[in-house]
Amino acid sequence: MGLHVHNLTFDCGDARSLATFWSRLTGWNLYYDDDPEVVVAPSFPYDGVGLLFIPVPEGKTAKNRLHLDLQPDAGTRDEAVERAVALGATVTGDHRQDDGTGWVTMADPEGNEFCIERGAEERGPAEPRQFRIGQ
C-alpha cells in the first residue's frame, strides 16, 4: 500500500497573510472559510499537492529541514526572484553562477526558506540521467 502527498503544511503566525503571499507567488488559488486553516492549490478539490497554512502560537526558531524548490513556468529565474522580493520575500543566499546556472535561496515573510531555480527555457534540453531504483 502506497501513500501520496496531499499537502505540504506550513505552521505560521498569520495563515491568511502567508497563504496570500504563496498564492501570489505560485499563481495558485487561495481557499479559506471560517476555519483558521488556509489552503493554496491549483484548483479545489485538488488531486495533487496543496499548501496548507495552519496558525500556531510559536514563531519559527530554526532553519527548515524541508523547503520548496521552485522553477518559473515562464520567464527567467531572475524575474521570478524579483517578483518574489516585490511580494515580500527576502534573498538569503545567492548561488547564481557566471554561466547562468545556480539558484537563489529565499525566505517568505515568516522566514520559511525556499529556492528559485532556472526554468525549463533557461536550462534547455534535459540531459539523460540514470537513477538506481531500490526499495
Query: What would the pLDDT profile of 96-126 be if each residue is shown by its tens digit?
Result: 999 999 999 999 999 999 999 999 888 877 7
Q: How confident is the model at residue 128 (pLDDT cuts 50, 70, 90)?
A: confident
At 45, is the secondary structure helix, strand, or coil? Answer: coil
Query: What would the pLDDT profile of 17-52 be if each residue is shown by its tens digit?
Result: 999 999 999 999 999 988 899 999 998 888 789 999
Which domains occur in the chain, in start order?
Answer: 1-57 (3.10.180.10), 67-123 (3.10.180.10)
CA distances from 120 to 1, 71, 81, 85, 90 (A): 34, 8, 16, 21, 24
